[in-house]
Structure 1
Amino acid sequence: MVKKKLFVLASLVLCFFSAVAAPPDSVRIKGIPHPCTWINPPKNFEVTPEGLSITATQGTDFYNYPGGGYNIATAPILVFKPDKDFVLTAKIKVDFKKMYDGGAIYVMVDSTQYIKFLFENSQYGTLSVCSGVTNTYTDDSNNAVTTKNEVYFRLAKSGNLYGLFYSPDGQRWEAIRLVNFVPKGPVSIGFSSQSPLGESCTSIFSEIVYTPGAFKNPKTGDM
């Protein structure tokens, strides 16, 4: 009887800690060892065997105009708490329809401090790899142009140094930028889709690989 009571008690303790570790509204996706939650709900989303699909509704974006006077923080972002250092790689495929449709990976603190790594249908009529670092205002930069609606992104962290890298095929990597980013609060990493001008935009994230530990190569993001 004593053993039975101890077993029941241990089961209750395990259930309690499981509930704490994975809240009921959390989302689990392939390749990410931590539970994810939403900043702004999406129009639709689907967890697939390959990864994740996010559909953003009309008027969704995260952007603080560098000249001031315009701020928007409506894009859905599925975030998780990362390890101290890490390397995150994923393929992003976007069903581009309108200008500024895009899929992104974020380093998120709050709506005034974040890094946005974006695959976007740019104002120039090209599919662009973009990045922006927001500290109250967003520094907005188009960094590369691709010809297909899918691209590989890599976000890597070592201390306060964040590296943003892209590849057309997942093999040949190029550095977009290195950022010394000192957050004023806890950091989350997230996947997002946006459609500032269109009716909706779906971004698909697959081949997700997340590895704890600092990156060593500033040209490719490799550990």
Structure 2
Amino acid sequence: MMSDLAGMTWLNPPPHHALSDGTLHVRTGKETDFWRETFYGFRRDNGHFLYRPVAGDFSAEVTVKGDYKVLYDQAGLMMRLSETHWIKAGIEYTDGLAYFSVVVTNDRSDWSLVAVPADRDGLRIRLTRHAEAIRIQYRDVADGHWKPVRLAYFPTSQSVDVGVMCCSPQREGFEASFSDFVAGPPISRELHD
């Protein structure tokens, strides 16, 4: 397992970020996002993404917290092959609530939302790659179990960039923190406990 955020690379560095005791604190830039075409008709590729390349199959996890206040404030995990092929998964603020949000982009973006319980301690998120399948989960704080959210197609490749992302499409200054980031061997392919 690799867990050193300090050794990772920024795509679109935020105006403010600090690493302290293994936790990354970020304040977003103005009107940042990752999105391609669908429904809204625009392309945005200016969100903040701190990553490292990861080869083959893997599982990546992080605990994310944020000061979600404005529509589409978001923070979570991302994996990226290119500007046209990526997945982001995390908490996103919409309609006055924080949801678990997943965007899968294969040339064009799609978006899915799942209501999750609010937790001041943040939410643990996991992305797992098994060849062309990406498994997206979060851990329920109340019972400690991983909840399945999505099983998505993603093109196979020798490696992809994996790390943490945050965006604030409607403002600047959204504050998020990321802790206990790990990327390593994939969990079992068994989907059901």
TM category (shorter chain) comes to: 0.7 to 0.9
Matched residue of 2:92: which SS? strand
| Uncovered stretches (5+) of structure 1, i.e. residues with no partner | 1-29
Deviation at 1:83, TM superposition (A): 3.1
| Residue of 162, 167, 185 corresponding to 1:194 | 167
Q: Is the 8 A contact 1:80 1:189 kept in 2?
A: yes
Deviation at 1:191, TM superposition (A): 0.7
Cα distance in 2 for residues equivalent to 1:32 and 1:176: 27
Q: Deviation per CA, 1:95-142: give whole Å up to 9, x if none.
A: 1121111102111112211111121111x2111001011112111111
2:124 is matched with 152
1:46 is matched with 18
> Counterpart of 1:136 in structure 2: which amino acid?
D
Larger Cα-atom Rg: 1
1:79 aligns with 2:51: yes
Listed as ranges, the matches of 1:1-223 within 5 Å are 31-32=3-4, 35-67=7-39, 69-122=41-94, 124-149=95-120, 150-169=122-141, 171-183=144-156, 186-219=159-192
Deviation at 1:192, TM superposition (A): 1.1
Deviation at 1:68, TM superposition (A): 6.2
Deviation at 1:74, TM superposition (A): 0.8
Cα distance in 2 for residues equivalent to 1:97 and 1:74: 20
Matched residue of 1:216: which SS? coil
Q: 1:71 to 1:42 in 2, by over 3 A?
A: same
Q: Is the 8 A contact 1:109 1:183 kept in 2?
A: no
Q: Percent same amino acid at aligned positions? A: 24
Cα distance in 1 for residues equivalent to 2:84 and 2:32: 16
Q: Deviation per CA, 1:44-88: give whole Å up to 9, x if none.
A: 111221332222112001011313621111111011011312111
CA RMSD in angstroms, aligned pairs only = 2.3
Deviation at 1:167, TM superposition (A): 1.6
**Larger relative contact order (Cα-Cα within 8 Å, sequence gap ≥ 6):** 2
> Counterpart of 1:37 in structure 2: which amino acid?
T
Q: 1:47 to 1:215 in 2, by over 3 A?
A: farther
Cα distance in 1 for residues equivalent to 2:69 and 2:5: 33
Deviation at 1:33, TM superposition (A): 8.4
Deviation at 1:198, TM superposition (A): 2.1
The runs of 4+ residues in structure 1 deviating greater than 3 Å are 32-35, 183-186
Q: Is the 8 A contact 1:84 1:213 kept in 2?
A: no
Greater share of helix residues, 1 or 2?
A: 1
Cα distance in 1 for residues equivalent to 2:9 and 2:174: 20
Aligned residues between the structures: 190
Cα distance in 1 for residues equivalent to 2:126 and 2:79: 12
Cα distance in 2 for residues equivalent to 1:184 and 1:194: 26
> Counterpart of 2:118 in structure 1: which amino acid?
T
Q: Is the 8 A contact 1:175 1:219 kept in 2?
A: no
